[in-house]
Amino acid sequence: MPTNILMPALSPTMEKGNLAKWLKKEGDKVKSGDVLAEIETDKATMEYEAVDEGTLARIVVPEGTQDVAVNSVIAVLAADGEDVKAAASATPEPKKAETPKAPASSFETRPAAAPQDEGKLPSQPTQKPIPRPEEARSAVSKGAGPGSAAAGKIFASPLARRLAKEAGLDLSRVEGSGPHGRIVARDIEAAKSGKGLRTAPGTAPALAAVVGAPAMTDQQILGLYESGSYDSVPHDSMRRTIAQRLTAATNSMPTFYLTVDCELGKLVAAREEINAAAPKGADSKPTYKLSVNDFIIKALALALQRIPEANVSWTEAAMLRHKHSDIGVAVALPFGLITPIVRQAEMKSLSAISNEMKDLAARAKAKRLKPNEYQGGTSSVSNLGMYGIKDFTAVINPPQSSILAVGTGEERAVVRNGQIVAATIMSCTLSCDHRAIDGALGAELITAFKKLIENPVMMVV
């Protein structure tokens, strides 16, 4: 019988993807391991390999299609000896939301969570007219329905409660659109964008503050500007993912910050000497060229090894203490941000780190990274020094527990032996998840980093 080829989940959080290109056409023979298509996620473009053998009988989703739901049928494969035309005319069975199952492939895939109790959800939440302040206050004070806080008990589906908890939403603020005012999943999705939210008594909607959602609805924001005075650029999947992850991190992760100033005199001298001694390759170009950021990656990796209690990830059940330092490095892209990871950075030479980062950054900009090259990690580096930024704080990328924000190296006046002299100083700020790293432990980590960055010879000992 025909085999349905489903849209794979290429990451734990993937719910939709773009079918960028078909590499096989209808009627082509397919062998296990053949690349069928290129799937574009929010972070990368992945090759999707066939598992079964047969003939590609029908392409259900044409290339270039955006926002294809995970586990939806994208093609039909006829088995060897099977009538291809009959297989092509067969109606693909729709996926069942209750038991999503991604097809096996050459890389590990995990299906994104699917709603289990809501039935079919509309692609766009129903937009309700914006109530006037006095109407909103009246509705809340009277108790708009069984789903309201005023009714004493909040009626919401289990899925809606879980989604609200993940988004940091107060269910008493959410308007229910289900039977008898019950709050369902689509209400939570609408609430994340500021729609369908009740206003607290005595508070105007424009001033409503909801954790995990903007204080104003889209309609209210648009009402502040004249039509034609702006261009509306829809969010792509990467920008939405960045917003969701960083909002979740900010709402759920208690964070504190530690800042140190590092002298770069010895590092700059060592970098110049090492680069000058780099051997030439077949093209007569140096085989490596170290940057200051390469030293920073190595120093953070070694500091985490020296303070292993800080090389951790928080889970509700246990602390994960990592054996290696896998350092994510923020790379700015025209369409967003991604953090490719240098695995086991503490064991690699500076030249190896330099060349690996150049390769990762180039493939990141081409959206050619594999999921395992940007997921996980134990800590990260975000360097804005090249933009002339003196110091800043960075948002931790879960499940990591720390991130180092690096400013520019600049000449500043310092006091040495009672004399004011000029020195090249770089400010670094460590953001720490207080659930996993206490203040004194964070101070030990950034102090270890400072010692290494100011004495780069210690990185090779």
Structure tokens at 310: 């800080």
Separation CA 158–CA 164 (nearest Å): 10
Q: Does 434 participate in catalysis according to the annotation?
A: yes
Dihedral of the alpha carbons of 408, 305, 317, 371, in degrees to the nearest 10: 60
- Tally Cβ neighbours within 10 Å of residue 84: 19
Which backbone phi and psi does 221 adopt, to 5 degrees?
-65, -45
**CA torsion through residues 214, 218, 224, 225, sign:** positive
Give the residues across from 54 on adjacent strands.
30
| Contact of 378 with 304, CB cutoff 8 Å | yes
Q: Please return the burial class of 231, using the count of CB atoms within 10 Å of its CB with bins 0-12, 13-18 and 19+.
A: exposed
H runs (alpha helix) in 107-236: 133-142, 158-167, 185-192, 218-222
Point out the catalytic residue in the list 180, 235, 324, 434.
Answer: 434
| Contact of 328 with 339, CB cutoff 8 Å | yes
* DSSP per-residue string spanning 66-96: EEEETT-EEEEEEPTTS-HHHHHHSPPPPPP
Cβ neighbours for 160, distance < 8 A, ≥ 6 positions apart: 171, 183, 184, 185, 187, 188
| Contact of 383 with 331, CB cutoff 8 Å | no
| Contact of 441 with 447, CB cutoff 8 Å | no
Catalytic residues: 434
